Structure 1
Amino acid sequence: MLAAMSASPLPSRSPGDACARSSGDACPGALRLHRADDGALARIRIPGGVLTPRQAEALGQAAERLGDSELHLTSRGNVQLRGLAPDCGAELAGLLDEAGLLPSRRHERVRNVVASPLSGLDGLGTTDVRPWLTALDRLLCGSDSATALSGRFLFALDDGRGDVDALGADLTLLGHGDGGALLRIGDGDAVLRVPAADGPRAALIAAEAFLDSARDTGAWRVKDLPDGTAAALPAEVVRRLRQADIAVTPARRPRPPEALPPVPGPVPGGLHGAALSVGVPLGRLDPAQWRLLSSAGELRLTPWRGVVVTGIGSDRAGSLLSGLTRAGLITGPDSPWAGVGACIGQPGCAKSLADVRAEAGAAVGPAGRLPVYWSGCERRCGHPRGEWIDVVATPDGHRISHVRGDLTTATATVRDDPVDLAAAVAAARGART
């Protein structure tokens, strides 16, 4: 039965909660394993989500040999391995190092970089961000000061289409129609125009300025800075850019309100051979699915827990698409799984109040107009941005909210009945028209 409908702000942690540093940065990495209820967890940072076939094969081997055999995609285009033995760290590091996935052990947790996954493939956007990605990762790994960045700090490289600009990164580098680049600091509309060739260096300088500004504030991310410190940061970045002989001009560009993932299916354009965009139900890939993807070409893991496969021979694209569909992946926008996401839930997380992945699977029906995200507790780890249906397990049932930005427009609570829950979620999502 539904509780009374109401309008209310979206529950979230405050900046003060987010930046309280009673201990060091506890974000897991490839070398720092996190103990979860289903075993140890490793988070492997993959800048831009780009994996060569050899690197993808190494990750699959690590998952099968050391973990639960599955690869779990994150909302930052990274990979998590779960169910690991607590003493597997040295073997895992060796596998990753041999595949070129650990270019700097000191920096492995700060290589948080998302990038427009279709950049250079479909002819949209104004800038191919791949050279930026290579340059920024090299600069990060070569910077001693960058090791102080938190595992939560996020860079975004947007080719101008606005997809990853909408994700709310700490520092966003955007392609611009005049051949230059725009650097956004935090969430505001203010940007700094810099030469495109200097974009990655400008992003690193801005990150170093943040670290100096954040000293003694406890801030992990730009949004955690006290108001006065945050307001002064852009001017400090401008000063440092000019000191580094980088031409910079303040400008304005509104941040897009919603991040739109690539549409599942063949990528139009074919500028560098055929490419396919594939969604992954609940971001979880079994060994057979991963082998099928990793043997097809270079992979670009997306911040929407999907994969873009590139460099496919045009004679193979059709058969590969059919094989991916048979394997249970999302290869078209009308898939029932399109737009459905969930946190790990029970039994993997001790804080979760429900097995939300199983519940999401039981509630899958016709594709809805709005995406839906299931969370096992109020932390709502990995939830999307923009507009979506928010389903949160609570002691009283499941709270279903329609979220737009930072506000909810309606809230209802459904008692723990699978039929009622599925019906309520389907109604909230709305049918596609």
Structure 2
Amino acid sequence: MLAAMSASPLTPRPPGDACARSGGDACPGALRLHRADDGALARIRIPGGVLTPPQAEALGHAAGHFGDGELHLTSRGNVQLRGLAPDCGAELAGLLDRAGLLPSEHHERVRNVVASPLSGLDRLGAADVGPWLTRLDRLLCGSDRATELSGRFLFALDDGRGDVDALGADLTLLGLGDGSGRLRVGDGDAVLRVPAGEAPRAALIAAEAFLDSARDTGAWRVKDLPGDAAAALPAEAMRRLREAGIPVAPDRHPRPLEALPPAHGPVPGGRREAALSVGVPLGRLAQEQWRLLSGAGGLRLTPWRGAVVTGIAPDRAAGLLAELSAAGLITGPGSPWAGVGACIGQPGCAKSLADVRAEAGAAVGPAGRLPVYWSGCERRCGHPHGEWIDVVATSGGHRISRVRGDRTTEAVTVRDDPAALAAAVASARGTHP
């Protein structure tokens, strides 16, 4: 159904986005609630997506007590609570603080860190990024300059397998097996080789270099910098690292195009404890589903709106997997929900032109070769990276195109015909209804 024509640039996110630079950094947080059509919204940053059982229990309680009862996973492994009363902020903040989810009130919106969710579990990565995650979060929360970062600036910690490296973070640390690491500044192939023990500090210094480069430009992220400033940033970061006494050398390492999520099901390689990877349809968890996940062990929320349950007794894993499947989660290959995503859409978002979550559910069919993301407007909030089928609600119907990187194929538009829309999406994904 998609026209095989020349690619064109992906339509940019227009002004009016909740995080648009032209309107100030209005990205929601745990202490700054965002007003939505379905009530106030809180976004709780969870570096690396890592939650202890008590923290997960606290989030579940917050969703049920203050919000609509559901926990909404984001494309950065964070949690959003929706349907909040506008006057619940102080009580919500107190609950989160007691659970250890607010280590610094001044830094809570800049703790944007994604990490390889299977790092240290399946022994496939070159290095366990867990120590980096702990150290980087402490450095961020201890830095006055870090409070100047926007709520969109993103750090990624990749254990060498290339999963979160492909997510387009502003600063990416890449694990190596020789006691060193790579620091990628922006999107380019140029990286800086640094000692592994200094990698988190190197990332913070590079973030400070970005802030100075971004002064008076309005740039919130590295990709927003003017061309000359963006090109000069890696060299400026290297200069500052050397001034700070960190050994550094230039290197090159291509960024992968595809950000591949963990396969759903048992995580291979566990010995004393087992781990399970599950997907969450449309990133939305009901209270019962959340209790089942949070009561099973530790949690690592993934940037693909899924979760890895850790610390499971091996003799419990098979039974738990069956319970998670019965609860409606994605526990293996071939699920029709695998790769299907959507923004909140109507009625939660005033800018959305359609109830895209309901439309995505109505169009679910055989698993496709490509992921599909449904957006209620041109902003495409939370869209994936790499290659995907882009379905955007417009005033004239639903526009369907294939996106790869920052390019998109010529689109087709389906008007007011649910059956035709489902068929067009299935065809675009490489399936047949």
Per the shorter chain, which TM-score range? over 0.9
Which residue of 2 is the match for residue 186 of structure 1?
Answer: 186
What is the CA–CA distance in structure 2 between the aligned matches of 1:256 and 1:17, rounded to whole Å? Answer: 31
Give the match's secondary structure for 1:106.
Answer: coil
**Would the alpha carbon gap of residues 162 and 272 (structure 1) be closer, same or farther in structure 2, given more than 3 Å must change?**
farther
Given that residues 4 and 409 in structure 2 are in contact (C-alpha distance below 8 angstroms), is that contact kept between their aligned partners in structure 1? no
**Would the alpha carbon gap of residues 205 and 272 (structure 1) be closer, same or farther in structure 2, given more than 3 Å must change?**
farther
Which residue of 1 is the match for residue 247 of structure 2?
Answer: 247
2:149 matched to 1:146?
Answer: no
- 1:98, distance to aligned residue in structure 2 (A): 0.4
Given that residues 343 and 357 in structure 1 are in contact (C-alpha distance below 8 angstroms), is that contact kept between their aligned partners in structure 2? yes
* AA in 2 matched with 1:12: T
- 1:284, distance to aligned residue in structure 2 (A): 0.2
What is the CA–CA distance in structure 1 between the aligned matches of 2:289 and 2:127, rounded to whole Å? Answer: 32
| Residues 174-223 of structure 1, C-alpha deviations (whole Å, 9 max, x = no match) | 01232210000000000000000000000000001111111111100000
**Would the alpha carbon gap of residues 78 and 220 (structure 1) be closer, same or farther in structure 2, given more than 3 Å must change?**
same
| Residues 327-364 of structure 1, C-alpha deviations (whole Å, 9 max, x = no match) | 00000111110010000000000010000000000000
Which residue of 1 is the match for residue 359 of structure 2?
Answer: 359
2:283 matched to 1:261?
Answer: no
What is the CA–CA distance in structure 1 between the aligned matches of 2:78 and 2:229, rounded to whole Å? Answer: 30
What is the CA–CA distance in structure 2 between the aligned matches of 1:78 and 1:32, rounded to whole Å? Answer: 15
What is the CA–CA distance in structure 2 between the aligned matches of 1:206 and 1:393, rounded to whole Å? Answer: 39
Q: TM-score, normalised by structure 2?
A: 0.97
1:8-23 superposed matches below 5 A: 8-13=7-12, 21-23=21-23
Which residue of 2 is the match for residue 427 of structure 1?
Answer: 427
Given that residues 77 and 114 in structure 1 are in contact (C-alpha distance below 8 angstroms), is that contact kept between their aligned partners in structure 2? yes
User: CA-atom RMSD, angstroms?
Assistant: 1.7
What is the CA–CA distance in structure 2 between the aligned matches of 1:3 and 1:245, rounded to whole Å? Answer: 53
Percent of counterpart pairs with the same letter? 80
**Would the alpha carbon gap of residues 399 and 14 (structure 1) be closer, same or farther in structure 2, given more than 3 Å must change?**
closer
Given that residues 41 and 84 in structure 2 are in contact (C-alpha distance below 8 angstroms), is that contact kept between their aligned partners in structure 1? yes
What is the CA–CA distance in structure 2 between the aligned matches of 1:331 and 1:69, rounded to whole Å? Answer: 23
| Residues 34-56 of structure 1, C-alpha deviations (whole Å, 9 max, x = no match) | 00000000000000000000000
Which residue of 1 is the match for residue 89 of structure 2?
Answer: 89
Q: Which moved more, 1:228-237 or 1:194-203?
A: 228-237
How many residues get paired? 431
**Would the alpha carbon gap of residues 362 and 273 (structure 1) be closer, same or farther in structure 2, given more than 3 Å must change?**
same
2:146 matched to 1:136?
Answer: no
Q: Which runs of 5 or more structure 2 residues have no equivalent in the other structure?
A: none
1:373-392 superposed matches below 5 A: 373-392=373-392
Which residue of 2 is the match for residue 323 of structure 1?
Answer: 323
- 1:17, distance to aligned residue in structure 2 (A): 9.4
| Residues 131-160 of structure 1, C-alpha deviations (whole Å, 9 max, x = no match) | 000000000000011000000000000000
* AA in 1 matched with 2:124: L
What is the CA–CA distance in structure 1 between the aligned matches of 2:177 and 2:237, rounded to whole Å? Answer: 23
Give the match's secondary structure for 2:411.
Answer: strand
1:105-116 superposed matches below 5 A: 105-116=105-116
- 1:430, distance to aligned residue in structure 2 (A): 1.1
Which residue of 2 is the match for residue 223 of structure 1?
Answer: 223
2:38 matched to 1:38?
Answer: yes
What is the CA–CA distance in structure 2 between the aligned matches of 1:77 and 1:214, rounded to whole Å? Answer: 26
Q: Which moved more, 1:45-54 or 1:8-17?
A: 8-17
**Would the alpha carbon gap of residues 65 and 179 (structure 1) be closer, same or farther in structure 2, given more than 3 Å must change?**
same
**Would the alpha carbon gap of residues 194 and 371 (structure 1) be closer, same or farther in structure 2, given more than 3 Å must change?**
same
What is the CA–CA distance in structure 2 between the aligned matches of 1:416 and 1:179, rounded to whole Å? Answer: 57
What is the CA–CA distance in structure 2 between the aligned matches of 1:20 and 1:85, rounded to whole Å? Answer: 25
Give the match's secondary structure for 1:77.
Answer: coil
Give the match's secondary structure for 2:92.
Answer: helix
Q: TM-score, normalised by structure 1?
A: 0.97
Given that residues 5 and 412 in structure 1 are in contact (C-alpha distance below 8 angstroms), is that contact kept between their aligned partners in structure 2? no
Given that residues 123 and 271 in structure 1 are in contact (C-alpha distance below 8 angstroms), is that contact kept between their aligned partners in structure 2? no
Give the match's secondary structure for 1:258.
Answer: coil
1:231-380 superposed matches below 5 A: 231-271=231-271, 273-380=273-380
**Would the alpha carbon gap of residues 277 and 323 (structure 1) be closer, same or farther in structure 2, given more than 3 Å must change?**
same
* AA in 1 matched with 2:387: E
Which residue of 2 is the match for residue 103 of structure 1?
Answer: 103
Which residue of 1 is the match for residue 405 of structure 2?
Answer: 405
- 1:272, distance to aligned residue in structure 2 (A): 5.5
- 1:233, distance to aligned residue in structure 2 (A): 1.1
Q: Which runs of 5 or more structure 1 residues have no equivalent in the other structure?
A: none
Given that residues 3 and 409 in structure 2 are in contact (C-alpha distance below 8 angstroms), is that contact kept between their aligned partners in structure 1? no
- 1:409, distance to aligned residue in structure 2 (A): 2.8
What is the CA–CA distance in structure 2 between the aligned matches of 1:80 and 1:282, rounded to whole Å? Answer: 13
What is the CA–CA distance in structure 2 between the aligned matches of 1:186 and 1:272, rounded to whole Å? Answer: 39
Which residue of 2 is the match for residue 53 of structure 1?
Answer: 53
| Residues 408-430 of structure 1, C-alpha deviations (whole Å, 9 max, x = no match) | 23411111111111111111111
Which residue of 2 is the match for residue 161 of structure 1?
Answer: 161
- 1:25, distance to aligned residue in structure 2 (A): 1.0
What is the CA–CA distance in structure 1 between the aligned matches of 2:143 and 2:63, rounded to whole Å? Answer: 31
Given that residues 121 and 271 in structure 1 are in contact (C-alpha distance below 8 angstroms), is that contact kept between their aligned partners in structure 2? no
* AA in 1 matched with 2:259: A
- 1:299, distance to aligned residue in structure 2 (A): 0.2
Give the match's secondary structure for 2:110.
Answer: coil
- 1:235, distance to aligned residue in structure 2 (A): 1.4
| Residues 39-82 of structure 1, C-alpha deviations (whole Å, 9 max, x = no match) | 00000000000000000000000000000000000000000000
* AA in 2 matched with 1:108: E
Given that residues 3 and 414 in structure 1 are in contact (C-alpha distance below 8 angstroms), is that contact kept between their aligned partners in structure 2? no
- 1:23, distance to aligned residue in structure 2 (A): 4.2
| Residues 89-125 of structure 1, C-alpha deviations (whole Å, 9 max, x = no match) | 0010011000000000000000000000000000101
Given that residues 5 and 411 in structure 1 are in contact (C-alpha distance below 8 angstroms), is that contact kept between their aligned partners in structure 2? no
Give the match's secondary structure for 1:369.
Answer: coil
Which residue of 2 is the match for residue 126 of structure 1?
Answer: 126
* AA in 2 matched with 1:205: I
**Would the alpha carbon gap of residues 16 and 182 (structure 1) be closer, same or farther in structure 2, given more than 3 Å must change?**
farther
What is the CA–CA distance in structure 2 between the aligned matches of 1:175 and 1:157, rounded to whole Å? Answer: 8
Which residue of 2 is the match for residue 63 of structure 1?
Answer: 63
